A and B are shown apart, each in its own frame.
Chain A
Amino acid sequence: MSHTSAPGENYLTGPKGLKSWLLTVDHKRIGLMYLYTVLSFFLIGGIFALLIRWSLFSPDHKFIDANTYNKFFTYHGAIMVFLVIIPAIPAALGNFILPMMLGAKDVAFPKLNLASYYIFCIGAAFAVSALFFRGADTGWTFYTPYSIRTNTTVILVLCGAFIAGFSSILTGLNFIITTHKLRAKGLTWGRLPLFVWALYATSIIQVLATPVLAITLLLLIFERVFQIGIFDPKLGGDPVLFQHFFWFYSHPAVYIMILPAMGVISEVIPVFSRKPIFGYRAIAYSSFGIALIAFVVWGHHLFVSGQSEFANFLFSLITMFVAVPTGVKVFSWIATMYKGTIRFNAPMLYAFGFLEIFTIGGLTGVFLATLAVDVHLTDTYFVVAHFHYVMVGGTLMGLLAGMHMWFPKMFGKMYSEGAALVGFILVVLGFNITFFPQFILGAQGMPRRYWSYLPEFTFLNQVSTVGSWFLGAGFLWTAIYMGRALFSGAKAPDNPWDSKSLEWQSPSPPPVENFLHEPVVTEWTYEYRPSKA
């Protein structure tokens, strides 16, 4: 199937004017609006990251005071977690790609989809508005009772995260029903692309876990407004209970961040290896295995909180099981490359980057799951490095792989592969230089959220800061060449990567209703039969 799209007929050139975008119910346009919004917040969160790293360049050279530093790391964390990594792949790429992969004309509830976007924007506006008042300095984890006592405007950030949560819930709901009801003829569950499986598992977590975060944040808002005292030891409450509530959501949230990235990687590797994905079922089921276990491991964040020894025993044991399905995925991706014919296009490069970074993130996760080892490492830079390797390295590599993969589909333009290679090297190198030293800093005992530090930590902090410049340059470079491609890139063919997945069987960019003919599926998405290269 190969069509050339008639000029002037695609979703970008369809209805014109700002209003047609702001009020669109087209999932593709909503996906793009999410993408632009998320990338804007990524820029803001990234600037705070660079400022934090600059402040840490030396133990005494402080261009910001401690209170400002505390606010900066709070903004960095809250913006990156709630406004970037959680929505990045599902809401931005997922919105665009999921219905197309299913052969659908739209998501199940298009108006609800638009509403989700605006709910997200309102939440984001609340969170960011704190910047213009007294800020927030609790860290993105809002631990009580500090978050009850601080005189900063943390309540705005709480409201923001609370509201943005509903956007996440509604998007998850939309995707679940879309996957159930709107698959093309012949697209059975066993033929679905793994990106769909991953988004489906993610949606289930979003729907089940986010309400608990909502109620937790609401209770914390009430703590500050009505002094309900549930988490406040001064009023008879239990501050550690907050941590249980918070992590009951926020641990599964880690999988909201990583599962979609894993889905992207599962798409990229077979296409660029010209081979079926290895262990399709194992990868699909392992997503659900991870989603399921995600709900019963929250206590591993509380090993030194004063939680009972027995609870620690159980949570450590269960956490170990997460590593098994994760390992299965990683091994299956590597096996997919075996005896393939591998092309080194940008998406595949980022899949390599993902594998390198995520493997380190995953392995260091085992350190932290191990009870005794966690006692020393928790709340140090080791943890900071670990979750950046998983969340940033993993999710961001997935996002970049996905953006490079679907850019031609989304915009009908090609970017320069040479420029992408440069960007890839800068990002991966910069990332590792920034975060690998932090493992060592943590093992040496440097606690996280430290504005100043002892002189012996200086060298590694400086290495890390220099790395952050490379990383920043990498993103800047990526923004430049992608922006350029947007305006002056070569016209993209309908299926530049020669993929079997449905979204490529439509013109680039797709027409408003996604497909020129209603697609009918007759085979597995990964049916890459050997052919001469």
Chain B
Amino acid sequence: MFSQAYAAGLPIAASDIASRWDSLYNFLVWLSVFFFILVVGGMIYFAVKFRQRPGARAKYITHNVLIEVLWTIVPLILLMVIFVWGYVVYDDMVRPPSDAMEVRVIGKQWLWQFQYDDGRTTTGEVFVPVNKPVKFIMTSEDVLHSFFIPSFRVKQDVVPGMYTSVWFEATIPGKHQVYCAEYCGTSHSQMLAQVVALTADQWESWKSGKQLLGEIPKAGETAVAKVAGSSDAVTTSQGTTLVKAPNLIEQGQKLAMTRGCVACHSADGSKLQGPSWKGLYGHEVILSDGKKQKVDDNYIRESIENPNAKIVKGFAPLMPTYKGMVSELEMNALIQYIKSVK
């Protein structure tokens, strides 16, 4: 258990990327051991062998071009290999598959809040299916935080005013520890959470709002969670109450009505004062200055908070700013709704 997970000096590797990360890390460890022995071993050997002794004479050597070139080139080649290896793994770390399930994450002093597509929110625990790619779209309500899951070897800063994301595909069910890794004030070290990776069965019951019975163990440990009958309010192992709400898209749609967005933005493609949302997300638009802009979470957020920054060509800068009038949860719902208008 404890000793198993920590014996190797690394947390449990609970994703494919984590295993690949471990290979690279272990390579670096052994390479470092080699160079450490070379340098420090060499130092000790020379210190002993060439210690000052009666009659010993130092040799007058100032340089040696061959060896100097060698110890410049060989490390350089090694470093380039390490760089490429590191980049290749990194590239996969930051490129989520397009079918990844999305959960929206809000960090605030000093807790993590999770918002699911079905409209539920949880705090301190996030439920995800095992063996399926999951993408967290994250922002902060106050200062910088950083979402860090050691067993997946991923970490991403969470920045107020913008969205960043992190993705993983858990291969081991159970709880995976989450830390806040960017200093954020008094209770920084208590800003913890768990990623609860559920087996297919458990995931189905979670989705249908059933209660997960029994303690879900830490990933890699053996106890098994049981699933019981349905209930609208679900109590999880940490005692978080999940209130069943309209799903995120419905919430967003409702907000779009009540906040007056629909007066200028249609959902059916018809042109009003502002661009229609239909088929907008994920595509490129041409801006008034001729530049291209991909419509992603950050662009939609910016267009709500600072509408005149990037006007789509053919439209007038008429929209007032909604900065400070939309909460992070509402913003997530709005974005999720606009995303859904295909």
Q: Which residues of A contact B (CB under 8 A)?
A: 66-67, 70, 137-139, 143-146, 149-150, 233-234, 236, 239-240, 273-282, 304-306, 309, 312-313, 316-317, 320-321, 323-324, 327-328, 330-332, 334-335, 337-344, 352, 355-356, 359-360, 363-364, 366-367, 369-376, 378-380, 440, 443-445, 447-454, 456, 526, 528-533
Contacts and interface: CB of A to CB of B under 8 A. Distances in A.
A139 B53 CA distance: 51
B28 A444 contact: no
Given A66-B187, A340-B50, A233 B160 contact: yes
Interface string B139-157: 0001110101010011111
Given A352-B47, A370-B86, A372-B21, A275 B160 contact: no
A376 B59 contact: no
A201 B57 CA distance: 34
Interface of B: 2, 6, 9-11, 21, 24-25, 28, 31-32, 35-36, 39-40, 42-43, 46-47, 50-64, 67-68, 71-72, 75-76, 79-80, 82-83, 85-91, 93-94, 142-144, 146, 148, 150, 153-157, 159-162, 164, 177, 179-190, 306
Contact of A372 (B2, B89, B184): B89
Given A305-B157, A320-B80, A440-B9, 10 more contacts: A70-B185, A240-B159, A324-B79, A338-B46, A355-B40, A369-B86, A373-B24, A376-B21, A376-B153, A530-B57
Contact of B93 (A277, A320, A372): A372
B134 to A, nearest CB: 17
Contact of B79 (A276, A323, A356): A323
A273 B306 contact: no
Contact of B143 (A146, A309, A317, A337): A146
A439 to B, nearest CB: 9
Given A342-B46, A445-B177, A445-B179, A236 B79 contact: no
A18 B317 CA distance: 70
A159 B43 CA distance: 44
Contact of A376 (B57, B154, B186): B154
Contact of B156 (A145, A278, A306, A532): A306
B190 A452 contact: yes
Contacts, number: 273
B82 A533 contact: no
Given A312-B90, A342-B46, A444-B6, A280 B63 contact: yes
Contacts of B148: 379-380, 445, 447
B82 A275 contact: no
Given A236-B306, A338-B50, A456-B6, A304 B156 contact: yes
23 contacts: A70-B183, A146-B144, A275-B59, A275-B61, A278-B61, A279-B62, A306-B159, A323-B75, A327-B72, A327-B75, A340-B58, A341-B58, A352-B43, A366-B79, A371-B89, A372-B88, A379-B182, A380-B181, A443-B9, A452-B190, A528-B60, A530-B59, A532-B57
A70 B189 CA distance: 10
Given A334-B46, A363-B36, A376-B150, A304 B25 contact: no
Contacts of A526: 62
Given A370-B28, A371-B87, A275 B58 contact: yes
Nearest to B32: A363
Contact of A341 (B50, B85, B153): B50
A231 to B, nearest CB: 11
Contacts of A236: 306
A478 B23 CA distance: 43
A313 B87 contact: yes
B146 to A, nearest CB: 6
B58 A324 contact: no
Interface core residue of A144, A332, A447 (most chain B CB under 10 Å): A447
B63 A279 contact: yes
Identify which of A452, A528, A531 gathers the most chain B CB atoms within 10 Å of its CB.
A452
Contacts of A143: 144, 182-183
Nearest to A359: B39
6 tightest CB-CB pairs across the interface, nearest first?
A445-B150, A370-B86, A233-B161, A372-B89, A450-B189, A371-B90
A52 to B, nearest CB: 13
Given A337-B50, A342-B47, A447 B58 contact: no
